[in-house]
């Protein structure tokens, strides 16, 4: 069935009707590739870069179309995940357990999503219980002494559906700093994760949903600094991360033409960092005490969100959406140079119109106004941004051709660190701003067995917040004359192309063949210096081939290419291109038992995503998964009804 996307308009829209640039990663794709973590799932995506600093559990950020990680808004079941202190979301500890779908919305999305959606949105939703109640368990063992195990329950009984799981992952022999550079110490990672999704069907087509996710991760760390004599093996340096994510939503049609949805969410995170005791240079092999500038810390953040959305079907072709959102971010840094709890909150109103004429012409248009609180002593404000967005699309049904285009604006509010961090924060900062345009042509051929798409995008970033040394302007905020200022401008433009070929067949040893791929060209420029933006490759490509020779067996091969890029600003530390191949095989032993194997970095390529940090060598994993029906009297009848 055709995927339905919510993030592009905040209402369910079939992919074929979308006028925005959206990519969907489904649970089926995750299952075929035997993906473990969300960063792995995102790596083959178009126009998106994942940067992981040293393997499982280390910092993993996502960037879209030339933007930074703090310019990418991340949501899990409606809860905003971006940190209030540094603005980004660290995907390091987020596994794919119970994830139903990942939507990647590219371009400025301030009109619907507000602050932080300056480059795009990653919207993650978890599975709902459905069908006959089931229970399952799985176990996996592989390279680096990796052990994964867990169990789950799901199903529906009458009006109530439930999906829940508990998982664990331990890995002991992975070095955060690249072992090929001489790192000897191995850095362990342990991850616990639990998820619960409870839903109730209400009278008159109403719906009540509650989701809860708990994430706990412990990671041993190294120091990958490029300043000699680094990088370093660091002993007893550790990060402990705890996340608690709660979401409740109530959906109810009020009339035949008026529906409403109320969403309340909270994302709470605590990250404890231990600086370690001693460090060993992988260059000189000398062991010294950890620098006194690196200290232990605890950073606690909180994201609260309330949104009340109303949809009005004014006429058959016209749907109007209006809503209100309250957002609050809290942050506290407990360290020798930290700060007590700080709060940034905002109130926003938005309105959008969607037009659908004969399932051929589509258009959306809307605006949003955000009003932020005042803070500091004396009270200051960084303005009340207004953002807007227009999109359009046309389908020529006779040829299966679709043309779509969009233009929108976005902003990123200053983070708590940028406003309040001692000897750096600047309470006079204003929001970063962006303008985003894209246009694309899509083509379906051979009864939709072949899909082709090609497009162009342009993102302009203004008022960017940069850390600068300025004795004149910074003396009010920093005794070191080093502070955050709105002085940056940048541009990203490029081309995106992708295809998907699906060949179902009844021939012997060919039940299904799927081939999909994408290529992205991105030209970035810091308009102040004329140099490239750091860690953005000009060329990226990926491909995924899935082959099902018989009903019980599915094999998948994936390919990823990342071109040259500079690791730091000013076109310094040029990093070479690389290619990586992965392989997986699923064998459905019977209707209850699935066995699988996966090989990462099949050809043992030597590469780095971030300079000096480790990535997997050739690694092999084996696993088994079992699911069984739970005998609940009358469950099958109630579930089907």
Backbone angles phi, psi at 417, to 5 degrees: -60, -45
3-state secondary structure 95-162: ECCCEEEEEEEECCCHHHHCCCCCCEEEEEEECCCCCCCEEEEEEEEEHHHEEEEEEEEEEEECCEEE
Q: What tokens does 357 get?
A: 């004429």
Dihedral sign (CA 313, 319, 320, 322): positive
Task: Round to whole Å and give the CA distance between 418 and 431.
Answer: 11
- The residue written with tokens 């596994």 in the block is 95
3-state secondary structure 196-263: EEEEEEEHHHEEEEEEEEEEEEEEECCECCCCCCCCEEECCCEEEEEEEEEEEEEEEECCCCEEEEEE
Task: Round to whole Å and give the CA distance between 97 and 76.
Answer: 13
Helices and strands, number each (H, E), in the chain = 6, 36
Task: Round to whole Å and give the CA distance between 424 and 481.
Answer: 8
Quick one: DSSP state of residue 317? T
Q: What tokens does 186 get?
A: 């191995």
Task: Round to whole Å and give the CA distance between 83 and 417.
Answer: 10
Classify residue 440 as exposed, middle or buried by CB count within 10 Å of its CB (0-12, 13-18, 19+). Answer: buried
Task: Round to whole Å and give the CA distance between 312 and 331.
Answer: 37
Task: Round to whole Å and give the CA distance between 626 and 478.
Answer: 59
Q: Do the beta carbons of residue 333 and residue 422 sit within 8 Å?
A: no
47: left (phi over 0), alpha (psi -120 to 50) or beta: left
List, run by run, the mean pLDDT of 10-residue segments along the chain (641 residues).
89 95 94 93 94 92 95 96 95 94 96 94 96 95 96 95 97 94 94 97 97 97 93 96 98 97 98 96 95 92 98 96 97 90 94 96 97 77 89 96 97 94 92 96 94 97 93 87 93 97 86 95 96 96 96 96 95 96 96 96 95 95 94 59 46
3-state secondary structure 556-589: EEEEEEECCEEEECCCEEEECCEEEEEEEEEEEC
The per-residue pLDDT for 638 is: 56
Q: What is the DSSP track for 467-522?
A: EEE-HHHHTTT-TTSEEEEEEEEEEEEEEEEEEEEEEEEEETTEEEEEEEEEEEEE
Task: Round to whole Å and give the CA distance between 184 and 178.
Answer: 9
- Model-level pTM? 0.96
Residue 252: how many CB atoms within 10 A of its CB?
16
Backbone angles phi, psi at 426, to 5 degrees: -130, 105
Q: Do the beta carbons of residue 142 and residue 160 sit within 8 Å?
A: no
Task: Round to whole Å and give the CA distance between 119 and 65.
Answer: 7
The per-residue pLDDT for 635 is: 57
Exposure of 31 in the CB half-sphere (CA atoms within 13 A): 16
Burial 25-36 (b: 16+ CB within 10 A, else e): bebebbbbbbbb
Long-range contacts from 598-601, C-beta under 8 angstroms, 24+ separation: 598/33, 598/34, 598/142, 598/623, 600/143
SS3 content of the chain, % helix, strand, coil (to 5): 10, 60, 30
Classify residue 641 as exposed, middle or buried by CB count within 10 Å of its CB (0-12, 13-18, 19+). Answer: exposed
CATH of domain 4-640: 2.40.170.20
Q: Where are the beta strands (DSSP E) in 283-338?
A: 287-289, 297-315, 318-334
The per-residue pLDDT for 376 is: 67
Residue 14: how many CB atoms within 10 A of its CB?
12
* Closest among 450, 483, 490, 444 to 467, alpha carbons compared: 483
The per-residue pLDDT for 384 is: 86
Quick one: DSSP state of residue 628? E
3-state secondary structure 48-63: EEEEECCCCCCCEEEE
* Closest among 307, 346, 316, 312 to 329, alpha carbons compared: 346
**Beta strands 120-126; 72-76: pairing state:** parallel
Residue 558: how many CB atoms within 10 A of its CB?
24
Task: Round to whole Å and give the CA distance between 597 and 602.
Answer: 12
3-state secondary structure at position 343:
strand
Quick one: DSSP state of residue 531? B
Burial 88-118 (b: 16+ CB within 10 A, else e): bbbbbbbbbbbbebbbbbbbbbbbbbbbbbb
The per-residue pLDDT for 92 is: 94
Backbone angles phi, psi at 8, to 5 degrees: -70, -30
Quick one: DSSP state of residue 89? -
3-state secondary structure at position 94:
coil
* Closest among 458, 342, 286, 398 to 86, alpha carbons compared: 342
């Amino acid at each position: 069935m055709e995927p339905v996307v919510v993030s592009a308009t905040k209402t369910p829209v079939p992919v074929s009707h979308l006028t925005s640039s959206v990519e969907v990663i489904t649970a089926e794709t995750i299952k075929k590739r035997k993906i473990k973590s969300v960063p792995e799932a995102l790596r083959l995506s178009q126009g998106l870069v994942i940067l992981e600093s040293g393997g499982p559990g280390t910092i993993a950020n996502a960037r879209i179309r030339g933007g930074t990680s703090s310019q990418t808004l991340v949501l899990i079941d409606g809860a905003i995940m971006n940190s209030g202190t540094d603005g980004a979301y660290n995907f390091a500890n987020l596994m794919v357990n119970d994830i139903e779908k990942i939507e990647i919305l590219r371009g400025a999305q301030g009109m619907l999503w507000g602050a932080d959606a300056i480059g795009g949105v990653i919207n993650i939703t978890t599975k709902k219980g459905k069908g006959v109640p089931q229970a399952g368990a799985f176990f996996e063992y592989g390279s680096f002494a990796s052990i994964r195990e867990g169990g789950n329950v799901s199903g529906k009984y009458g009006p109530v559906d439930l999906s829940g799981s508990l998982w664990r992952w331990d890995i002991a022999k992975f070095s955060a700093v690249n072992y090929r550079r001489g790192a000897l110490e191995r850095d362990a990672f342990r991850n616990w994760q639990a998820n619960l999704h409870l839903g109730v069907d209400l009278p008159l087509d109403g719906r009540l949903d509650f989701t809860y996710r708990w994430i706990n991760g412990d990671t041993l760390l190294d120091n990958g600094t490029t300043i000699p004599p680094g990088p370093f093996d660091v002993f007893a340096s550790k990060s402990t991360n705890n996340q608690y994510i709660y979401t409740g939503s109530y959906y109810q049609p009020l009339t035949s033409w008026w529906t409403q949805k109320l969403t309340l969410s909270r994302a709470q995170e605590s990250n404890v960092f231990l600086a370690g005791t001693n460090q060993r240079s992988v260059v000189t092999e000398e062991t010294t005490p950890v620098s006194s500038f690196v200290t232990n810390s605890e950073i606690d953040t909180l994201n609260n969100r309330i949104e009340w959305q109303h949809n009005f079907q004014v006429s058959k072709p016209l749907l109007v959406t209006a809503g209100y959102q309250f957002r609050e971010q809290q942050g506290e840094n407990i360290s020798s140079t930290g700060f007590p709890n700080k709060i940034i909150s905002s109130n926003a109103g938005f309105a959008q119109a969607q037009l659908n004429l004969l399932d051929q012409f589509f258009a959306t248009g809307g605006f949003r106004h955000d009003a932020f609180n005042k803070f500091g002593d004396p009270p200051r404000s960084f303005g009340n941004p207004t953002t807007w967005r227009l999109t359009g699309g046309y389908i020529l049904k006779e040829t299966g051709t679709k043309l779509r285009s969009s233009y929108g604006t976005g902003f990123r509010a200053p983070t708590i660190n940028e406003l309040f961090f001692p000897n750096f924060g600047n309470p006079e900062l204003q929001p970063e701003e962006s303008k985003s345009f894209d246009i694309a042509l899509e083509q379906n051929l051979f009864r939709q067995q072949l899909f082709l798409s090609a497009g162009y995008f342009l993102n302009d970033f203004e008022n960017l917040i940069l850390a600068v040394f300025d004795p004149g302007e910074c003396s009010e905020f920093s005794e070191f004359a080093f502070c955050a200022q709105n002085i940056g401008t940048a541009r990203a433009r490029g081309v995106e192309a992708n295809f998907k070929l699906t060949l179902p067949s009844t021939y012997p040893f060919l039940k299904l063949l799927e081939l999909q791929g994408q290529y992205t060209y991105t030209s970035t420029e810091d308009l102040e210096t004329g140099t490239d933006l750091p860690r953005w490759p000009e060329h990226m490509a990926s491909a995924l081939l899935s082959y099902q020779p018989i009903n019980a067996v599915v094999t998948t091969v994936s390919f990823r290419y990342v071109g040259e890029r500079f690791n730091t600003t000013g076109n310094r530390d040029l990093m070479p291109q690389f290619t990586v191949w992965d392989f997986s095989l699923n064998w459905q032993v019977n209707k209850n038992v699935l066995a699988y194997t996966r090989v990462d970095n099949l050809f043992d390529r030597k590469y780095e995503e971030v300079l000096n940090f480790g990535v997997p060598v050739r690694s092999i994993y084996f696993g088994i998964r079992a699911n069984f029906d739970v005998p609940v009297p009358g469950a099958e009848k109630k579930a089907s009804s």
